């Protein structure tokens, strides 16, 4: 030990007495500091480059609402300008993403489903709960792909329980426009409101809210053109406009031989993150249509089923809001979602009573109506894969002026309402099993208690659902 101390002391004295060595250490320190500074600058430059690449990728993703495209499709999309012949021969054209959604249900109703109707509102189509007992519900078959470097195509077929096939959506999207502008053309679910452009299997309850059933007959669909613009801001801000044939309820098919546009819509949505756990979205929508000779049957004051025919203008305004809470942003564990929508509809035009002449009392008079309704619902995932939810629906028949037909027709003062509770189990994003109990008071002295048991199975490449 004493020898070690002696050697250490000698070394220390040698260092203290060696000024050239100290000067060399300062230079070395300066060199190291310079290298650190260069390294920092290099990393900052690389981080900035990665940020730019991330922003560009997010912008491209926002412009292309396509579900996951096949690798071949992505290759085509990223390729430089190709000739039409080359595009038509691309793998994307022959290898689209394909998926199927299989659904089935067991339904128990306390009332006859054939008597399902909403008092005070024009019948909007087949909106009943469905067949009693076991049945397959509406299934879905979808095909999508990048057509070439500028277009994306999507086809969704609805397979009904009575073995019919319906084109639910068939549209193209032009993906090459800059500045966040995205045109869509063909047949598509309108983006008015919050729930309208979501497919049925993505809903949190088995059936649509009452306002959707009463005002749209389920969902509003357009054959036409839609343009959306996503503003380049930190806050989510999107504007959209649509024009179409307006044949979906509350519109109707246009008269034969007429040109022009049957309806249009405007919508705007804003949203963002409050903090890491909370996010929100709100919107306003306006829809205008020109129903022509839209017919339905209604029981008149004398108890006779009378056929009515309406021609005029129908306008619908919607306010929607959704708030989501997920602790620390981890929605896989637990989350809560609160959403609601308010609908208001005004119709003005001519109403023909006994339009088929069956009662011998055919009469045409001015008709106006203002009606509204809303729903609010909450869904809570209390542990991974398990959720509970509750929904309340309310309709107000408002004011209906039958004018010269008031002697035959009477307005309703009854407020239809509905209460729903659901409990579901979602083992993965490809399967869900749900139980829903519902009490519907849609007519005076008519209360229907309904139990739904539902399954949803998804096969293939299905894209993510919207917020």
Residue 25 pLDDT grade (very low, low, confident, very high; cuts 50, 70, 90): low
- Give the pLDDT score at 226: 98
Residue 68 has pLDDT above 60, yes or no: no
Q: Supply the pLDDT for residue 16.
A: 40
The share of the chain scoring above pLDDT 90, in percent, equals 70
Tell me how far CA of residue 214 lies from CA of 137, 286, 344, 460, in angstroms. Answer: 21, 17, 11, 34
Residue 70 has pLDDT above 80, yes or no: no
pLDDT, mean of residues 13-35: 53
Give the per-residue pLDDT at 39: 63
Say yes or no to pLDDT of 200 above 70.
Answer: yes
* pLDDT computed for residue 95 by the predictor: 77
103-112, 118-127, 252-261, 293-302: range with lowest mean pLDDT:
252-261
Start-end of H helices in 334-436: none
Distance from the Cα of residue 306 to its chain's centroid: 37
The enclosing H or E element of 367 equals strand 363-383
The whole-number average pLDDT for the span 122-142 is: 88
pLDDT surpassing 50 at residue 86: no
Provide the pLDDT confidence category of residue 54 given band limits of 50, 70 and 90: low
- Please state, in angstroms and rounded to a whole number, the distance separating the CA atoms of residues 462 and 95: 15
Query: Tell me: the pLDDT tens digits for 134-193?
Result: 999 889 999 999 999 999 999 999 998 889 999 999 999 999 999 999 999 999 999 999
Give the separation between CA 396 and CA 111, rounded to whole angstroms: 23
Q: Does residue 13 surpass a pLDDT of 70?
A: no
The C-alpha atoms of residue 348 and residue 138 are separated, in whole angstroms, by 34
Asked whether 193 and 318 are in contact (CB, 8 A), the reply is yes
Q: How many domains does the chain have?
A: 1
312 assigned to some structural domain: yes
Does 325 score more than 70 pLDDT?
yes
**167, part of any domain:** no
Position 440 scores a pLDDT of 95
pLDDT recorded at residue 78: 37
Q: Within a domain: residue 329? A: yes
Query: What average pLDDT does the segment 72-82 reach?
Result: 36
Nearest to 266 by CA among 231, 216, 302, 316: 316
- The answer as to whether 27 is a domain residue is no
Give pLDDT tens digits for 378-428.
Answer: 999 999 999 999 999 999 999 999 999 999 999 899 999 999 999 999 999
Which pLDDT score, from 0 to 100, does residue 4 have? 41
Distance between CA atoms of residues 391 and 122, nearest Å: 23
Is-above-0.85 flag for pTM?
A: no
Q: Is residue 142 part of a domain?
A: no
What pLDDT does 403 receive? 94
Element (H, E) at 32: helix 19-63
Has residue 53 been placed in a domain? no
Specify the residue for token string 């040109």: 259
Rounded mean pLDDT, 231-245: 95
Q: What is the CATH number of the domain that holds 332?
A: 2.40.160.10
Quote the domain boundaries for residue 340. Answer: 177-446
* pLDDT tens string 333-354: 999 999 999 999 999 999 999 9
Residue 163 lies in a domain: no
Read off the pLDDT of residues 449-463 as tens digits, 9 standing for 90 and up: 999 999 999 998 777
Q: 223 in a domain, yes or no? A: yes
Higher pLDDT among residues 295 and 95, named by residue: 295
Q: Is 376 exposed, middle or buried (0-12, 13-18, 19+ CB in 10 A)?
A: middle
- Check if the beta carbon of residue 187 is closer than 8 Å to that of residue 221: yes
What is the C-alpha to C-alpha distance for residues 441 and 449, in angstroms, rounded to an integer? 9
Transcribe 295-360 into DSSP letters.
Answer: EEEEE-TTS-EEEEEEEEEEEEEEEEEEEEE-GGG-TTT-EEEEEEEEEEEEEEEEEEETTT-TTS
């Amino acid at each position: 030990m004493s020898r070690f101390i002696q050697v250490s002391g000698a070394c220390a004295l040698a260092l203290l007495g060696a000024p050239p060595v100290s000067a060399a250490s300062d230079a070395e320190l300066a060199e190291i500091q310079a290298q650190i500074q260069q390294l920092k600058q290099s990393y900052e430059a690389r981080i900035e480059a990665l940020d730019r690449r991330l922003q560009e990728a997010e912008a491209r993703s926002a412009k292309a609402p396509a579900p996951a495209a096949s690798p071949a499709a992505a290759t085509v999309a990223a390729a430089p300008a190709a000739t039409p012949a080359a595009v038509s021969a691309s793998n994307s054209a022959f290898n689209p993403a394909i998926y199927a959604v299989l659904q089935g249900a067991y339904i128990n109703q306390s009332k006859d489903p054939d008597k399902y109707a909403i008092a005070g509102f024009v019948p909007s189509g087949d909106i009943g709960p469905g067949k009693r007992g076991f049945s397959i519900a509406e299934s879905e078959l979808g095909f999508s792909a990048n057509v070439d470097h500028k277009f994306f195509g999507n086809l969704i077929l609805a397979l009904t329980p009575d073995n019919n096939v319906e084109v639910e959506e068939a549209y193209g999207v032009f993906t090459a426009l800059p500045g966040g502008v995205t045109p869509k053309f063909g047949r598509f679910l309108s983006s008015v409101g919050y729930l309208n452009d979501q497919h049925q299997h993505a809903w949190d309850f088995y059936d649509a809210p009452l306002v959707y059933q009463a005002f749209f007959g389920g969902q509003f669909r357009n054959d036409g053109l839609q343009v959306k613009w996503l503003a380049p801001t930190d806050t989510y801000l999107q504007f959209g406009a649509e024009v179409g044939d307006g044949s979906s309820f509350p519109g109707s098919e246009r008269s034969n031989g007429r040109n022009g546009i049957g309806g249009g819509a405007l919508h705007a949505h804003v949203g963002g993150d409050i903090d890491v756990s909370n996010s929100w979205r709100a919107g306003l929508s306006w829809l205008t249509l020109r129903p022509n000779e839209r017919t339905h049957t209604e029981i008149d004051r004398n108890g006779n089923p009378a056929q009515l025919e309406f021609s005029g203008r129908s306008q619908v305004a919607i306010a929607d809001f959704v708030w989501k809470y997920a602790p620390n942003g981890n929605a896989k564990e637990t989350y809560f979602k609160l959403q609601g929508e308010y609908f208001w509809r005004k119709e003005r035009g001519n109403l023909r009573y006994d339009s088929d002449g069956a009662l011998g009392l055919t009469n045409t008079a001015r008709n106006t109506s203002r009606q509204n309704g809303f729903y609010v619902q909450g869904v809570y995932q209390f542990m991974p894969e398990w959720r509970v939810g509750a929904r309340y629906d309310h309709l107000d028949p408002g004011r209906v002026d039958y004018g010269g037909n008031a002697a035959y027709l009477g307005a309703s003062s009854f407020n239809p309402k509905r209460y729903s509770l659901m409990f579901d189990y979602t083992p993965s994003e490809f399967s869900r099993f749900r139980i829903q109990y519902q009490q519907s008071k849609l007519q005076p002295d008519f209360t229907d208690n309904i139990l739904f048991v539902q399954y949803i199975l998804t096969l293939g490449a299905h894209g993510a659902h919207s917020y």
